[in-house]
């Protein structure tokens, strides 16, 4: 009986990890293929400015956590910040975001890919928390 229970437990964990791997591969393929959404431009640039300048004037109407997470990988590819631009000094988040993505030293596709990966990982973390929560509430196999 204990052996059967351990086997079920192992099989369920394997299934969860397999589904999360499929989720990651699918999302990675999607983020490489899609162009920037409307609000991604100011959010990515704002997150980068939060980390580099410790200034939260860009896109202040939204909480900063996801923007900060998205900007973490961008710290390692040596981007131009454009903190000397007119858009930055005025706090014009839309034009600053366009300038940040379109006129930087790295291609837009690389900036978008790197900034989307932490959000995909956040989705995977959410999947793990949902699994653990449902396991705690209902057990490995819900019996009604």
Q: Is there a domain that residue 1 lies in?
A: no
Q: Is there a domain that residue 31 lies in?
A: no
Whole-number CA gyration radius for the chain = 20
pLDDT at residue 46, rounded to an integer: 93
Q: For the purposes of burial, counting CB atoms within 10 Å of the CB of 141, is it exposed (0-12), middle (13-18) or buried (19 or more)?
A: exposed
Q: Is there a domain that residue 21 lies in?
A: no
Question: Which token pair is 75?
Answer: 């710290």
Domain with 83 in it: 40-128
Q: How far is CA 122 from CA 30, 68, 125, in A?
A: 16, 12, 5
Q: Is there a domain that residue 45 lies in?
A: yes
Q: Is there a domain that residue 70 lies in?
A: yes
Q: Is there a domain that residue 60 lies in?
A: yes
Tell me the pLDDT of the chain (144 aa) as tens digits: 455 666 677 888 898 999 999 999 999 999 888 888 888 999 999 999 999 999 888 888 889 999 999 999 999 998 988 999 899 889 899 999 999 999 999 999 999 999 999 999 999 999 999 999 988 888 766 554
Domain count, the chain: 1
Q: Is there a domain that residue 18 lies in?
A: no
Is residue 39 within 8 Å of 71, Cβ to Cβ? no
Q: Is there a domain that residue 99 lies in?
A: yes
């Amino acid at each position: 009986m204990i052996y059967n229970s351990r086997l079920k437990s192992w099989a369920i964990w394997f299934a969860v990890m397999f589904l999360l791997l499929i989720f990651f591969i699918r999302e990675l393929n999607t983020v490489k293929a899609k162009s920037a959404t409307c609000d991604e431009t100011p959010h990515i640039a704002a997150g980068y400015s939060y980390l580099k300048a410790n200034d939260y004037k860009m896109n202040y109407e939204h909480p900063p956590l996801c923007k900060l997470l998205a900007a973490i990988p961008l710290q390692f590819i040596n981007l131009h910040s454009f903190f000397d631009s007119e858009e930055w000094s005025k706090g014009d988040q839309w034009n600053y975001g366009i300038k940040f993505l379109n006129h930087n030293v790295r291609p837009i596709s690389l900036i978008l890919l790197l900034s989307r990966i932490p959000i995909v990982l956040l989705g995977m973390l959410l999947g793990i928390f949902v699994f653990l929560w449902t396991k705690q509430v209902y057990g490995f196999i819900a019996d009604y």
